[in-house]
Amino acid sequence: MFKDFDPLQGKRLEIMNINGEIVAQKWMPKISDEKIVEAYKTMLYARIGDLKAVSYQRQGRLYTLPTNIGQEAAAVGSAMAIEKNDWMVPAYRELGAWLVKGATMRHYFYYFGGSEEGSRFPEGTRLLPVSVPISSQLTHAAGIGHSINYKGEKDVVITYFGDGGSSQGDFHEGLNWAAVFNCPVIFFCNNNGYAISLPRKKQTKARTIAQKAIAYEIPGIQIDGNDFFAVYRATSEAARYAREGHGPVLIEAVTYRRGAHTTSDDPTKYRSAEEEKEWEQKDPLLRLRKYLESKNLWDEKSEQDHTEESTADIESQFKEYEQFEGTPLEDIFKYQLEEMPDSLKSQMVDMRNFINRKEG
């Protein structure tokens, strides 16, 4: 597959069009109807959870958070294509991938409510906490991949970043290390068109992100990131390639974040209503729903029932979050090192004094 979609040829993997029609049967992944329905249900759940979280933030009940609307196929499709024992090293805009990997909306609310509980996943869940610094997580993924090789294991690592992240030093360090040491890492770029407010063409002169793989002598592929089947197929191929010991792969998923960069951002300042309307037609949920309806696997009642069940479940988890008494101050400091050094002890005292003064 990677030879067929050589980045230097300017090709993009597209399997399903915006009408939900399969236009490249040759590349259609082998996936059961049940799993496709499961994917759609997860994408719909993630959409509802994202909109709910933004609403709660606007009410002052959560801190600043990134929006996910429009990128559900890239998140869910890629996460479903790896195995349960594989590692996931996220950025901060992969709610759907989180859910597939075993996290819950409760974790999401805790994290963006400022609690360490949001990074305390069930035992055995190979999911690292959110990484807010841009692309720092890519070197973490390369390190985990290196350890997998050192231990002689067969797991793979998937890590996420944005198109702006590909201009950071950690991107190059992560890819270089993984390539030199043949680490089993899938570098998954969500190219959503903007590095916060900066258009992609102004933050890198590369024609595609996938082309950057050439410099490291590893496979790179550009895919339609709003096409669930293209995401699933490309990630499955990358996982197989890495698991067989061939090393890392760079995937560029061309998508669009329909919401703001974060709830502190105003996208109307840097993009047009026409552009947003154009991408609304390419919405990943609409496309997959049309496909399922054409196969009689989904209908209006299924949509309504799942929406109501998801909404009730998410609201219940948010209620649980709001009833939580909060993370002890010590938790913020004591997990960084085995023994807390004096510098951290001093910071903890300063923080406690600040809170005491603030609360009077």
> Is 45 a catalytic site residue?
no
Q: Which two tokens stand for residue 128?
A: 């690292």
Verify whether residue 257 is a known catalytic residue: yes
Q: Of these residues, 257, 289, 291, 321, which one is catalytic?
A: 257
199 membership: H or E segment, kind and range: strand 198-199
The answer to whether 258 is a known catalytic residue is no
Residues near 181 by Cβ (< 8 Å), separated by ≥ 6? 142, 145, 146, 149
Q: At what angle do helices 33-58 and 228-243 cross, to 10 degrees?
A: 110
**158 in Cβ contact with 190 (< 8 Å):** no
Burial of 144 (0-12, 13-18, 19+ CB in 10 A): buried
Catalytic residue among 207, 270, 335, 352: 270
Q: Tell me the two tokens of residue 339.
A: 């023994």
Residue 251: its H or E element:
strand 249-254
Angle at 100 between CA 95 and CA 102, to 5 degrees: 95
Which among 261, 287, 291, 321 is annotated as catalytic?
Answer: 261
Residues known to be catalytic = 257, 261, 270
